[in-house]
Amino acid sequence: MLDVLDKSKKILEEYALCDRCLGRQFSNLATGTTNKERGASIKLVLAMNSTLEKEQINIELLQNLSKTGAIFAKKTLKKIGCIPKETQKCYLCEGKLDELEDLVQKIVKAINEYEFESFLIGNVLDNSLYIKENKIKDKFGLHGTEYLKQEFNREIGKKINEITKKKTDFNTPEIIIECNPFSSKILEIKIRSVYIYGRYNKYVRTIPQTHWDCRNCKGKGCEKCNFTGKNYAESVEELMAKPVLELTKGEKAVLHGSGREDIDVRMLGSGRPFVLEVKKPKIRNIDLKKLEEQINKEANNKIKVNNLRISSKKEVIKLKTKSQQSTKIYKAIVEFENLVSDETIKKIEENLKDKTLNQKTPTRVKHRRADIIRKKRVYEVRCKRIDEKHVEAIITCEGGTYVKELISGDEGRTEPSFTEIAENKAECVELDVLEIKEQ
In angstroms, rounded to a whole number, what is the distance separating the alpha carbons of residues 288 and 248? 11
Helix axis angle for 2-14 and 35-50, nearest 10°, is 90
Q: Residue 276 in contact with residue 255, Cβ under 8 Å?
A: yes
Q: Residue 292 in contact with residue 306, Cβ under 8 Å?
A: yes
Q: Is 197 annotated as ligand-binding? A: no
Active site residue 262: yes
Question: Burial, 220: exposed, middle or buried (Cβ in 10 Å; 0-12, 13-18, 19+)?
Answer: exposed
In angstroms, rounded to a whole number, what is the distance separating the alpha carbons of residues 56 and 79? 15
* Per annotation, catalytic residue among 138, 262, 371, 410: 262
In angstroms, rounded to a whole number, what is the distance separating the alpha carbons of residues 103 and 250? 26
Regarding beta strands 167-168 and 118-123, do their DSSP bridges make them parallel or antiparallel, or are they unpaired? Answer: parallel
Regarding beta strands 390-398 and 373-385, do their DSSP bridges make them parallel or antiparallel, or are they unpaired? Answer: antiparallel
What is the edge-to-edge ordering of all strands in the sheet holding 167-168?
Answer: 167-168, 118-123, 175-180, 185-191
Q: How far is CA 24 from CA 124, 128, 144, 205, 245, in A?
A: 19, 18, 9, 65, 46
Q: Identify how many contiguous H helices and E strands the chain contains and give both numbers.
A: 14, 14
DSSP string, 224-255: TTTTS-BSSS--HHHHHHHHHHHHH--SEEEE
Residue 294 phi, psi (nearest 5): -70, -45
* Beta-carbon contacts of residue 144 (< 8 Å; ≥ 6 apart): 26, 27, 28, 29
Q: Is 330 annotated as ligand-binding? A: yes
Amino acid letter, residue 28: N
SS3 call for 84:
coil
Which of these, 274, 277, 305, 278, lies nearest to 292 by C-alpha position?
305
Amino acid letter, residue 189: I
Which of these, 233, 250, 253, lies nearest to 305 by C-alpha position?
253
Which residues are part of a known binding site for substrate? 330, 402
Q: Which sequence positions are flagged as catalytic?
A: 262
